[in-house]
Amino acid sequence: MTSFQKCVGFGRIFPLVILRNHNVASRRCIHGSSVLYKKRKTREERKLPKAIVYSPKSKWKQGEPVDVWKRMTVAEVANTLGKDVGHVLEVMSFIDNTEQYRKDRDVIDNFKVIEEIVKKSGHRCRMASKPTETEEKSFKDVGRRNPSDYVDPRPRPPVVTIMGHVDHGKTTLLDTLRQSSIVEQEFGGITQHIGAFSVVIGKDKLTFLDTPGHAAFISMRSRGAHSTDIVVLVVAADDGVMEQTVESINLAKEANVPIIAAINKIDKPQADVERAKRMLTQHGVQVEDHGGDVQVVPISALKGTNVDTLMEAILVQAELMELKSDYSGPVEGVVIESSTDTHRGKLCTVLVQCGTLKKGAILIAGTSVCRVRAMFNDKGTPVQEATPSTPVEVLGWKELPSAGDIIIQVSSEKEASQIAEHRLQKEQEKKAEDEFTVIDKKMKEEYAKYRERLEARRKLGKWRMKPTGPREKEIKEVDSGPRLNIIVKGDVDGSMEAILDVLETYDNPKCRLDIVHYGVGPVSKNDITLAESFNAVIYTFNTKLLETPPDDVVVKNHNVIYRLVDDIKDEINKRLPQIDVEETIGECNVLQEFLINEGKNKVPVAGCRCVKGSLKKSGRFRLIRGQEVIYDGTLSSLRHLKDEVDSIKKDLECGIRLSDTSVRFQQGDTLVCYKINKVGDAIVWDPGF
């Protein structure tokens, strides 16, 4: 029989084991921990609210973003994650409605499932296009040829762009060169398109591009600078270097194009050629007279003075540049301008840069395809072919190309369609990527707000956080304030581009400006239907109406861009709500307060003298004491002597009783009489010109 006797020591228990049958006693030592003494809380500490202590939550570390796209197969998901198919199948076992995806080639048609797989695998989704192995290996987009690959390089005419500030005489110079009257045909006296034409001088031929000088047409000037060989910078001798002159200088330097300075209007009495040269030097144009290499030719475009000298300077510069191009092989060029004609359809002005363009050629420009049906020169005469440095108007486009697009000739319409489809897909991919970036940024912002609110609730413990206001709606309602819906139709693509650039500068919160539709060409029946549906105003720019619109559709035609913008401003101002404007009628000083009996009450009345303007009983009155407004409201009585009157003129005394009888008067107080007028509001919009 065994019995135990416990001996307790410091941190130890000594059991005494007695084996009676064998008369043997043995001691064994068992080690135990020390007693942990904990301080008792006071009564006040026990009454304090206990903070909720959460166990630390393991943070899920997101890995690198991976490319995903719609309708991925199980194998493609595994490949983009860098895992095997088994991993994807295992992850899908934790996702609902994934029983049908069990093979490598099964297409996951629910994009939410793909997102969940990527998320549970520790990555983030990044929208991308589906890679096509055959496309990457066999398909190749077309582009410009290297000059070393030219088969038949020969000298070509120079392309000269006329640039400068608005109203400095660029178009007048071209009129002199062509012996025409372009400037008389320009609305408002300013150029609003790029004009391209050729001029023959003896045995030599020059191609000129006339660019707008107005501030709104910066994109046109940029295209002109990048499509040219030589820039003729027109500077008025009386004005000197102006804002668009500096911009043209920078564009020429950016395009690495040589400059020839033409100082125009030397026939004016205020002309100062030397001052213009100094201003050019100050802006980085090193003229020959100041030790530079930029030719300067003083001219009078209106009278034709020294225009021949300017032409010689251009030919000398072109000879030094040794301009050459390939007259055979695929055609290369650039779209100068594009438009829609009522009778001829979609057409564009093309500057041929390489090869010889002929009727029947297949062209690709951006995502637009063309089989050349007809070509016309700058005089409107049909031509059969166009050699390098020749501007022609090309008919036969299926879709209207954008100004500035590069034109390449291909072998067949099938190839052109494949290239256009490939480029369109690339544009859609870029758009999807941009949209995903915006969505991802928004999600991060919302998650940061959620974490902030969560931490605030946790710190409060058992106390509930007071509501900070109504819950923000996840779907925001459309702004119900004033708005102006517009439809814009332009004559050419470049003009539409300039108008849209100007409209993008509008950011006034008082009234929304929505562009329902825009395009190139005359106003169609579809445009009128849209205007009726959206209650929109149709603005046309150098275009016509194909049919008479109904009475409830407003169509406004303009030929000058700044007048179009002014009209839009007026339409916006009409839609703004009226604002209250205070008009002061008169003032009076309080001379003394009187208390009169009215029943059992005493009512204060002010004895006043009108010192400015007049006092109207129907107006509002503001009682001012020092710098403080004591009362702002109406009167109940206005008396002169003992008579109730409607008005008090200057320098007359009167008695005034306010509608609020609790307000007391003091000697020296001022009463201001005023009225509120409703006036129309106006926006502040600086379009940049």
Tell whether 304 and 341 lie within a shared domain.
Answer: no
Element (H, E) at 346: strand 345-354
> In the predicted model, is pLDDT for residue 50 greater than 80?
no
Residue 358, in any domain of the structure: yes
> In the predicted model, is pLDDT for residue 367 greater than 70?
yes
> In the predicted model, is pLDDT for residue 478 greater than 80?
no
Per the CB < 8 A criterion, the answer to whether 258 and 181 are in contact is no
Strand-pair partners of 556: 539
Tell whether 248 and 306 lie within a shared domain.
Answer: yes
Please tell me the predicted confidence (pLDDT) of residue 7.
44
228-273 confidence digits (pLDDT tens) = 888 899 898 888 888 888 888 888 888 888 999 999 988 888 888 8
Tell whether 566 and 584 lie within a shared domain.
Answer: no
Tell whether 309 and 161 lie within a shared domain.
Answer: yes
Residue 433, in any domain of the structure: yes
pLDDT band at 193 (very low <50, low <70, confident <90, very high): very low
76-119 confidence digits (pLDDT tens) = 999 999 889 889 999 998 898 888 888 888 888 888 899 999 99
Classify 672 in phi/psi space as left (phi over 0), alpha (psi -120 to 50) or beta.
beta
Cα 286 from Cα 281, distance rounded (Å): 5
645-674 confidence digits (pLDDT tens) = 999 999 999 999 999 999 999 999 999 999
Give residue for tokens 């695998």.
121
- CATH code (residue 654): 2.40.30.10
- Looking at 426, 459, 492, which one is the last position of a domain? 459
Cα 214 from Cα 163, distance rounded (Å): 11
Percent of the chain residues topping a pLDDT of 70: 83
Q: How many domains does the chain have?
A: 6
> In the predicted model, is pLDDT for residue 211 greater than 80?
no
Residue 57, in any domain of the structure: no
Tokens of 53: 């202590």
- The type of residue at 211 is T
- CATH code (residue 284): 3.40.50.300
Q: Which residues neighbour 68 within 8 Å (Cβ) at sequence distance 6 or greater?
A: 77, 80, 114, 115, 118, 125, 126, 127, 128
C-beta neighbour count of 589 within 10 angstroms: 16
- Looking at 322, 347, 362, which one is the last position of a domain? 322
> In the predicted model, is pLDDT for residue 189 greater than 60?
no
Per the CB < 8 A criterion, the answer to whether 611 and 589 are in contact is yes
Domain containing 91: what range? 71-125
Record the pTM. 0.61
Residue 207 sits at φ, ψ, to 5 deg, of -110, 125
pLDDT band at 676 (very low <50, low <70, confident <90, very high): very high
Element (H, E) at 101: none
Tell whether 182 and 302 lie within a shared domain.
Answer: yes
More confident residue, 511 or 63: 511
Strand-pair partners of 72: 108
Q: How many residues are present in the chain?
A: 689
Cβ neighbourhood burial of 604 (10 Å; 0-12, 13-18, 19+): middle
Tell whether 559 and 597 lie within a shared domain.
Answer: no
Per the CB < 8 A criterion, the answer to whether 565 and 506 are in contact is no
Mean pLDDT throughout 35-51?
71
Q: Which residues neighbour 499 within 8 Å (Cβ) at sequence distance 6 or greater?
A: 216, 488, 490, 518, 541, 561, 564
Residue 288, in any domain of the structure: yes
> In the predicted model, is pLDDT for residue 218 greater than 90?
no
Please tell me the predicted confidence (pLDDT) of residue 52.
58
Q: Which of 98, 95, 76 is nearest to 85 (CA)?
A: 76
- CATH code (residue 521): 3.40.50.10050
Element (H, E) at 554: strand 554-558
295-311 confidence digits (pLDDT tens) = 999 998 888 888 889 98
130-167 confidence digits (pLDDT tens) = 776 544 445 678 888 888 788 878 899 998 888 887 77
Mean pLDDT throughout 561-585?
89
Strand-pair partners of 612: 587
Tell whether 413 and 331 lie within a shared domain.
Answer: yes
Tell whether 647 and 613 lie within a shared domain.
Answer: yes
- The type of residue at 204 is D
595-619 confidence digits (pLDDT tens) = 998 888 899 999 999 999 999 999 9
Q: Which residues neighbour 133 within 8 Å (Cβ) at sequence distance 6 or greater?
A: none
> In the predicted model, is pLDDT for residue 449 greater than 80?
yes
Per the CB < 8 A criterion, the answer to whether 192 and 186 are in contact is yes
Tell whether 232 and 274 lie within a shared domain.
Answer: yes
Tell whether 288 and 391 lie within a shared domain.
Answer: no
Classify 87 in phi/psi space as left (phi over 0), alpha (psi -120 to 50) or beta.
alpha
Tell whether 260 and 373 lie within a shared domain.
Answer: no
Tell whether 452 and 337 lie within a shared domain.
Answer: yes
- Looking at 290, 322, 354, which one is the last position of a domain? 322
Residue 49, in any domain of the structure: no
Give residue for tokens 């109504």.
470
Helices and strands of the chain, counted as H and E runs: 15, 39
Tell me what the pLDDT averaged over the chain comes to. 81
Per the CB < 8 A criterion, the answer to whether 606 and 590 are in contact is yes
> What are the helix (H) ranges across 139-260?
170-178, 182-185, 218-226, 243-254
Residue 216, in any domain of the structure: yes
Residue 257, in any domain of the structure: yes
Residue 356 CA: distances (Å) to CA of 322, 353, 359, 390: 20, 9, 10, 10
Residue 464, in any domain of the structure: no
